[in-house]
């Protein structure tokens, strides 16, 4: 018999066979299953003949639903939390529920399993000793990660992939990149190279389907040529102030911002 509490359960990210035996046992024994989208979760649950009450819990209703879940656990129920795919709490509001449980002294445990973050990293061929998961790709936040000397991991949709690669190329030009698509599914693929190579590749491919994990290598340690810095500065200065352009280029080439700024001033005198 399961102890009353919150059970955070990882579910498959593609291949339904990736669910664990413990996850199945817990889902069959719980009192209620909390998920992002009931229409998505019912497909997995039906495949394993699991029929339990479902409650939707997402960004838009979390504040209203959270007290209900805490009350159920306090009354002795077993609440199973799953996401549409993969490990809950990764890029979803589940962590607030976990914090609320701890604040009320309620039991919380995790049933580990599939994660697109880890699977994408492993398949990418990039260094795995130090890495950062940066969430969904957002060009407004790239500067926060440009200076990090480690592997970077982003989520992205296939519809925005080419545009995202082009934008990233300006900020992370001295990193290699791997596009890991359709993880664990029939058409799983990994394509690695420079940003220029990948952009050219996907322009030839055309329309893509599925989910994407972008994995960027740590910054290259090769010596940077002045011509490369100049080219990058001229490109970025078309759309950014000199201050932001220097920050972007310095991060891309893993160089001191002061050094890049001096070069930007020299270029400005050539006009």
Please report, for the domain that includes residue 103, its CATH number: 3.40.1010.10
| Virtual torsion, Cα 198, 203, 205, 206, nearest 10 deg | 140
Same structural domain for residues 29 and 56? yes
b/e per residue 14-26 (b: at least 16 CB within 10 A):
beeebbbeebbeb
Last residue of a domain, one of 172, 197, 216: 216
Higher confidence at residue 203 or residue 5? 5
Last residue of a domain, one of 70, 88, 114: 114
- How many alpha carbons lie under 13 Å from residue 178 in its C-beta half-sphere? 20
Report yes or no on 82 lying in a domain: yes
Same structural domain for residues 142 and 211? yes
Write down the pLDDT at residue 225. 62
Same structural domain for residues 110 and 57? yes
Phi/psi at 21 (5° precision)? -65, -40
Write down the pLDDT at residue 258. 79
pLDDT average, residue stretch 189-217 = 92
- Span 14-45, pLDDT tens digits: 999 999 999 999 999 999 999 999 999 999 99
Report yes or no on 86 lying in a domain: yes
Same structural domain for residues 64 and 103? yes
Q: Which range in 135-139, 203-207, 236-240, 244-248 is most confidently predicted, on average pLDDT?
A: 135-139
Do 112 and 39 form a contact (C-beta atoms < 8 A)? no
Q: Per DSSP, what are the bridge partners of residue 210? A: none
Number of domains comprising the chain: 3
- Span 126-170, pLDDT tens digits: 999 999 999 999 998 998 898 899 999 999 999 999 999 999 998
pLDDT at 251 over 80: no
pLDDT average, residue stretch 97-110 = 98
Same structural domain for residues 11 and 110? yes
Last residue of a domain, one of 65, 84, 114: 114
Write down the pLDDT at residue 267. 79
Write down the pLDDT at residue 254. 66
Same structural domain for residues 154 and 206? yes
pLDDT at 252 over 90: no
How many helices and strands in the chain, by DSSP H and E?
A: 11, 10
Same structural domain for residues 167 and 135? yes
pLDDT at 223 over 90: no
Please state which of the ranges 17-21, 85-89, 129-133, 258-262 shows the lowest mean pLDDT.
258-262
Report yes or no on 221 lying in a domain: no
Provide the domain limits for residue 257.
226-269
């Amino acid at each position: 018999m399961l102890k009353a509490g919150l059970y955070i359960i990882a579910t498959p990210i593609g291949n339904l066979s990736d669910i664990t035996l413990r996850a199945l046992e817990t889902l069959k024994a719980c009192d209620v299953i909390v998920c992002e989208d009931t229409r998505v979760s019912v497909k997995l649950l039906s495949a394993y003949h699991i029929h339990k009450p479902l409650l939707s819990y997402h960004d838009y209703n979390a504040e209203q639903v959270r007290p209900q879940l805490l009350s159920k656990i306090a009354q002795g129920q077993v609440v199973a939390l799953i996401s549409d795919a993969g490990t809950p709490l990764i890029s979803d509001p589940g962590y607030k529920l976990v914090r609320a449980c701890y604040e009320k002294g309620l039991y919380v445990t995790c049933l580990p399993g599939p994660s697109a973050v880890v699977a994408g990293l492993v398949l990418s061929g990039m260094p795995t000793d130090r890495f950062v998961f940066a969430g969904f790709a957002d060009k407004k936040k790239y500067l926060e990660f440009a200076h990090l000397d480690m592997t970077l991991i982003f989520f992205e949709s296939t519809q925005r992939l080419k545009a995202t690669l082009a934008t990233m190329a300006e900020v992370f030009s001295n990193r290699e990149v791997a596009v890991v698509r359709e993880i664990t599914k029939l058409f799983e693929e990994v394509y690695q190279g420079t940003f220029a190579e990948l952009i050219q590749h996907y322009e030839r491919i055309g329309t893509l389907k599925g989910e994407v994990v972008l994995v960027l290598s740590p910054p290259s340690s090769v010596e940077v040529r002045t011509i490369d810095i100049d080219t990058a500065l001229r490109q970025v200065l078309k759309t950014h102030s000199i201050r932001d352009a220097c920050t972007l280029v310095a991060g891309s080439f893993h160089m001191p911002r002061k050094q890049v700024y001096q070069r930007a001033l020299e270029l400005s005198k050539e006009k």
